[in-house]
């Protein structure tokens, strides 16, 4: 029976010779031709071609790569064929996980033509691991080089973002430079003018929405410009926060402000925010949309209007209460008879959301009532028995993890002893230097694998112990506040993840409130 082969070509950069965005690059075609010819020469049946273009070798979200792994697990083919091992992955971790781990279990052979990696060739594992190490070093060096280049560009005031700020567009004649987009800039000027005339941020958003002016994301989408897609259904609307962000953004007075985030690791796309004192700010890098006089008037107004909510119940449910219909955080407002939480989307556009408005005292009462009901529930004997069973299961899993760790540690000790024996054999001339390097490398990789398994088992124990502690503290946590007559901000933070609030039902006059507790 002929072997079935999966062909995997990959290109990480857009090919400059593409005739259109729909054309495949010449490099991808060359890879395909080479791999197809190799497969036919060996009389293999081509099962499918999995092609990732414009995806890096360290990106684990590659769509065709993940489809290939899924089909491999289903044993749909016998061989994975690549031009080089780095086309499959540049991460040593994935080399060990799939090429040396799952592929042998799934009965799949891995071959890369140019660097002669072949899991069916005895003694070839060392070469594959060296390839993996080199590719891993390449990724790390490349990441540091890119960071250095970007940091220099940022210090020099060059724009390095993927998207131009609303009101600007990237200069086609000068990389890293912004030029004014007059159509959008006119809206930016209008926003600042309305604000200094006394209009509120929510009122400005409502005025723009009433005129059908698309918000920055929708504007870029309509113009065919690059933009970051929003994940909510009202993403086309102007909102309070859009206006607030615009009114405090120094980019509009010609200052380039970048470096607000940093990458956590070259192996992930995740970033973390940096404090303001670490942001990079370069003045007069591009033409301003807002003149300094208008900017200063706007900033003075913002400072005058900013008030700290430090008394009464204001802030009790800050960032905790959400609209049940659009998902946005409710804003605090004050009326004669008390404080209320209101959905801002309702005022941004009349058709945007059903909206909701709830008194803080009403929400506080609902939370306290449910808290008291929960306390009665946790005193139920049946639930206490279920809790005991749950704890027994957790203890059993923890014991299993500890037994695994003990077994892994024994295997690790055996590896260390074998390396010492190998070294003695080398000194006695029983094995050659090359044999010693090859065998010791394999033992080292095995030791690393065991270390990783020990770490994973310890993490599992910590996770189980956390679940146990959380479970055991639930009843105590609820009972601690069972007699409370009023809520405090501390209690809300400890007990509540978030609250969904809806409009009152017309007939019953009851209001839907769903509390998502932290336990």
pLDDT, one tens digit per residue, over 319-378 is 788 888 888 788 888 777 788 888 877 666 656 677 788 899 899 999 988 887 776 665
Query: Which range is least confidently modeled, 80-89, 464-473, 487-496, 506-515?
Result: 464-473
Q: 160 and 297: one domain?
A: yes
| 517 in a structural domain | no
What does the pLDDT average to over 290-301?
91
pLDDT, mean of residues 241-267: 82
Q: Check whether residue 325 and residue 298 sit in a common domain.
A: no
Share in percent of the chain as helix, strand, coil (round to 5): 50, 15, 35
DSSP secondary structure code for residue 500 in this structure: E
* pLDDT score at 18: 43
Q: What percent of the chain has pLDDT over 90?
A: 22
Report yes or no on 489 lying in a domain: no
| Mean pLDDT in residue range 29-47 | 89
Residue 376 structure tokens: 């009665």
Query: What is the reported pLDDT for 129?
Result: 60
Higher pLDDT, 21 or 291: 291
Average pLDDT over residues 397-401: 86
14 in the same domain as 125: yes
More confident residue, 25 or 128: 128
What does pTM read for this prediction? 0.43
* Number of domains the chain contains: 3
Domain annotation covers residue 299 = yes
User: Across the chain, what does the average pLDDT equal?
Assistant: 79
**pLDDT at position 11:** 84
Which of the pair, 348 or 452, is modelled with greater confidence? 452
Tens of pLDDT along 76-88?
Answer: 999 999 988 888 8
Using CA atoms, how far apart are residues 368 and 363, in angstroms rounded to an integer? 9
DSSP conformational letter for 309: -
Q: Which two tokens stand for residue 510?
A: 């009851």
Across 134-138, 179-183, 439-443, 448-452, the highest mean pLDDT is recorded for: 179-183
Say whether both 267 and 350 belong to one domain: no
> Which class for 303: exposed (0-12), middle (13-18), buried (19 or more C-beta within 10 A)?
exposed
Q: Is residue 478 part of a domain?
A: no
Instruction: State the average pLDDT over residues 384-405.
Output: 76
Regarding predicted confidence, which is higher, 70 or 264?
70
**Domain boundary pick from 136, 167, 194:** 136
53 and 161 fall within a common domain = no
Look at residue 460 and tell me if it is in a domain.
no
Least confident of 310-314, 387-391, 405-409: 310-314
- Is 251 found in the same domain as 178? yes
- Specify the higher pLDDT residue, 334 or 220: 220
Mark which of 136, 170, 188 sits at the end of a domain: 136
60 or 306, greater pLDDT: 60
Q: Is the pLDDT of residue 486 over 70?
A: yes
Buried b (16+ CB within 10 A) or exposed e, 502-516: bbeeeeeeebebebe
CB burial of 410-424 (b: ≥16 within 10 Å; e: otherwise) equals eebeebeebbeebee
**Is 247 found in the same domain as 182?**
yes
Do 162 and 290 sit in the same domain of this protein?
yes
Residue 378's nearest CA partner among 448, 290, 481 is 481
pLDDT score of 130: 62
**Which of 279, 305, 331 finishes a domain?**
305
CA distance 189 to 365: 45
Residue 21 scores a pLDDT above 70? no
| Pair (203, 296) in one structural domain | yes
- pLDDT band with cut points at 50, 70 and 90 for residue 313: very low
pLDDT tens, position by position, 139-158: 555 556 656 666 778 788 88
Q: Is residue 488 part of a domain?
A: no
Q: Are residues 180 and 233 in the same domain?
A: yes
- Expressed as residue numbers, the domain containing 175 is 156-305
At 314 the pLDDT is 43
Query: Are 219 and 85 members of one domain?
Result: no
Checking if the pLDDT of 237 tops 50, the result is yes
Least confident of 47-51, 290-294, 430-434: 430-434
Closest residue by Cα to residue 445 from 83, 99, 79: 99
192 Cβ contact list (under 8 Å, min separation 6):
247, 252, 290, 294, 295, 298
Higher pLDDT, 252 or 464: 252
Q: Is residue 34 part of a domain?
A: yes
Residue 107 has pLDDT above 50, yes or no: yes
What CATH number does the domain containing 86 carry?
3.40.50.1390
In a domain, 378, yes or no: no
352 close to 237: Cβ distance less than 8 angstroms: yes
Based on the domain organization, do 503 and 362 belong to the same domain?
yes
- pLDDT, mean of residues 393-407: 86
């Amino acid at each position: 029976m002929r072997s079935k082969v999966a062909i995997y070509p990959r290109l990480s950069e857009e090919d400059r010779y593409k005739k259109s965005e729909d054309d495949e690059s010449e490099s991808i075609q060359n890879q395909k031709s080479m791999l197809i010819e190799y497969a036919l020469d060996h009389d293999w049946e081509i099962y499918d071609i999995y092609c990732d273009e414009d995806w890096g070798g360290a990106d684990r979200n590659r769509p065709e790569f993940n489809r290939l792994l899924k089909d491999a697990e289903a044993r749909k083919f016998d061989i994975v064929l690549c031009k080089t091992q780095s086309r499959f992955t540049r991460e040593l971790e994935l080399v060990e996980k799939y090429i040396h781990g799952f592929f042998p279990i799934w009965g799949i052979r891995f071959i890369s033509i140019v660097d002669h990696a072949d899991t069916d060739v005895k003694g070839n594992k060392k070469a594959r691991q060296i390839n993996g190490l080199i590719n891993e070093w390449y990724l790390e060096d490349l990441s540091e080089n890119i960071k250095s280049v970007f940091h220099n560009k940022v210090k020099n005031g060059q724009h390095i973002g993927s998207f131009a700020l609303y009101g600007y567009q990237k200069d086609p004649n000068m990389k890293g430079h912004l030029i004014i987009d007059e159509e959008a800039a006119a809206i930016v000027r209008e926003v600042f003018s309305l604000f200094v005339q006394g209009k509120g941020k929510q009122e400005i958003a409502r005025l723009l929405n009433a005129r059908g002016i698309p918000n920055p994301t929708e504007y870029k989408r309509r113009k065919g410009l690059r933009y970051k897609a929003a994940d909510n259904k009202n993403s086309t609307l102007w909102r309070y926060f859009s206006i607030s962000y615009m009114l405090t953004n120094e980019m509009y007075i010609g200052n380039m402000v970048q470096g607000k985030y940093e990458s956590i690791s070259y192996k992930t796309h995740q970033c973390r925010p940096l404090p303001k004192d670490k942001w990079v700010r370069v003045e007069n890098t591009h033409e301003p949309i807002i003149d300094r006089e208008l900017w200063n008037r706007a900033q003075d107004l913002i400072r005058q209007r900013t008030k700290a909510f430090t008394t009464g119940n204001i802030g009790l449910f800050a960032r905790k209460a959400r609209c049940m219909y659009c998902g946005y955080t409710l804003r605090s407002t004050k009326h004669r008879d008390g404080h209320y939480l209101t959905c801002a989307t309702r005022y941004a556009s009349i058709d945007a959301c059903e909206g909701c408005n709830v008194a803080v005292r009403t929400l506080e009462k609902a939370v306290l009532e449910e808290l008291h009901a929960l306390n009665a529930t946790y005193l139920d004997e049946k639930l206490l028995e279920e809790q005991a069973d749950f704890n027994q299961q957790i203890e059993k899993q923890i014991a299993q993890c500890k037994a695994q760790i003990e077994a892994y540690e024994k295997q690790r000790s055996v590896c260390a002893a074998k390396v010492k024996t190998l070294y003695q054999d080398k000194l006695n001339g029983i094995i050659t230097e090359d044999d010693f390097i090859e065998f010791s490398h394999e033992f080292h990789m095995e030791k690393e694998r065991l270390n990783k398994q020990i770490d994973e088992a310890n993490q599992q124990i910590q996770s189980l112990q956390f679940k146990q502690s959380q479970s055991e503290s639930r009843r105590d946590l609820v009972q601690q506040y069972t007699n409370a007559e009023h809520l405090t901000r501390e209690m809300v933070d400890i007990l509540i993840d978030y609250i969904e609030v809806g409009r009152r039902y017309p007939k019953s006059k009851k209001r839907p409130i769903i509390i998502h507790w932290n336990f």
